[in-house]
A = this chain, B = another copy of it.
Amino acid sequence: MIRNDTTFVIVGLGLLGGSYAMGLKEAGYGVLGVARRQETIDHALAHHMIDAGTLDPEEFLDQADIVVFALYPHIMIDWIHEHQNAFRPGTLLTDVSGVKVNVADKVQSFLRDDVEFIAAHPMAGRETRGIEYANTEMFHDANYIIVPTEKNTKEAVETSRQLAEILQFHHIATLTMQEHDEMIGFLSQLTHVIAVSLMNTHDNSHLVEYTGDSFRDLTRIAKINETMWSELFLLNKKILLSEIDAFAKELEHFRDTLAKEDVDEMKRLFIQSTERRKKFDKLK
| A-to-B contact residues, CB < 8 Å | 123, 141-143, 145, 171, 173, 183, 186-188, 190-205, 207-227, 229-230, 233-234, 237, 240-241, 243-248, 250-255, 258-259, 261, 263, 266-267, 269-274, 276-280, 282-284
Contacts and interface: CB of A to CB of B under 8 A. Distances in A.
Contact of A252 (B141, B202, B227, B248): B248
19 contacts: A186-B204, A187-B214, A188-B212, A190-B198, A196-B269, A199-B272, A199-B276, A201-B250, A202-B246, A204-B280, A205-B279, A209-B283, A214-B221, A217-B218, A217-B221, A222-B273, A224-B270, A247-B251, A248-B248
B280 A212 contact: no
A273 B208 CA distance: 14
Q: How many copies does the complex hold?
A: 2
A276 B217 contact: no
A214 B233 contact: no
Nearest to A249: B201
**Shortest Cβ-Cβ A-B pairs, 5 listed:** A226-B270, A199-B273, A222-B273, A217-B217, A226-B267
B223 A274 contact: yes
B280 A211 contact: yes
A80 to B, nearest CB: 23
A205 B143 contact: no
Nearest to A216: B280
A272 B212 contact: no
A111 B187 CA distance: 50
A104 to B, nearest CB: 17
A276 B204 contact: yes
Contact of A230 (B229, B252, B263): B263
